[in-house]
Amino acid sequence: MPKESVFSLNIDGLKQVLDLNLIGTILPTQIFGEEIAKHGSGSIVNISSMASQQAITKVLGYSLAKAGIEIYTKWFSVELANRYGDQIRMNAIAPGFFLTEQNRDLLTNPDGSFKERGKLVVQNTPFKRFGRPDELSGALVYLLSDASKFVSGTVLTVDGGFSIFSGV
């Protein structure tokens, strides 16, 4: 059990994570979205996370930011539709657990074996493995292409079944 009190969150650290992840998603939309609007049509795809959909320990700020990205995606897609019809769409991808440089130390030991947290993730993923970065490409291409022309405000989960598995 953690020794720190749950009532003494590092608010400055929380704000930094929110600023990086949430505002860091909103600002590019403000800049590039305006350019898309000037030139006709397009599709914007944000990156969410499993941390937005389930309580995952040790990542409160990240979870809050990613949940914010999901509602921002839905809210902004409605605003885009109200102003531009079907010309500009916004969706998001919610990746499950992908082994990256950002989380490698949290999930694996230096020899590549899984730490307890890594074991729990794999155990609770029906595919029994982490995702590979190239496995996000299909979802991204779909959301950017005309194949999803009638899709807006959607969060597409790419997680090997993690989000739907009860563990039983």
Q: What is the pLDDT of residues 125-159, one digit of tens each?
A: 999 999 999 999 999 999 999 999 999 999 999 99
The domain of 74 spans: 11-96+131-162
What mean pLDDT comes out for the span 88-104? 94
Look at residue 126 in the predicted model and tell me its pLDDT. 97
Domain count, the chain: 1
- pLDDT of 2 reads 63
pLDDT band per the 50, 70, 90 thresholds, residue 59: very high
Residue 71 is assigned to a structural domain of this protein: yes
Among 62, 72, 84, 142, the one annotated catalytic: 62
- 3-38, pLDDT tens digit by residue? 788 899 999 999 999 999 999 999 999 999 999 999
95-125 burial by CB neighbour count: b if 16+ within 10 A, else e?
bbbbbeeebeeebbeeeeebeebbeebbebb
In this structure, what CATH number is given to the domain that contains residue 15?
A: 3.40.50.720
Q: What does the pLDDT read at residue 4?
A: 81
Does a structural domain hold residue 110?
A: no
Query: In the predicted model, what is the mean pLDDT of the chain?
Result: 95
For residue 114, what are the contacts with CB-CB under 8 A and spacing of at least 6?
107, 108, 122
Q: Is residue 120 part of a domain?
A: no
The pLDDT, as a whole number, for residue 142 is 98
Asked if residue 103 is part of any domain, the answer here is no
Q: pTM of the prediction?
A: 0.92
84 is catalytic: no
**Would residue 142 count as lying in a domain?**
yes
- Is position 139 within any domain? yes
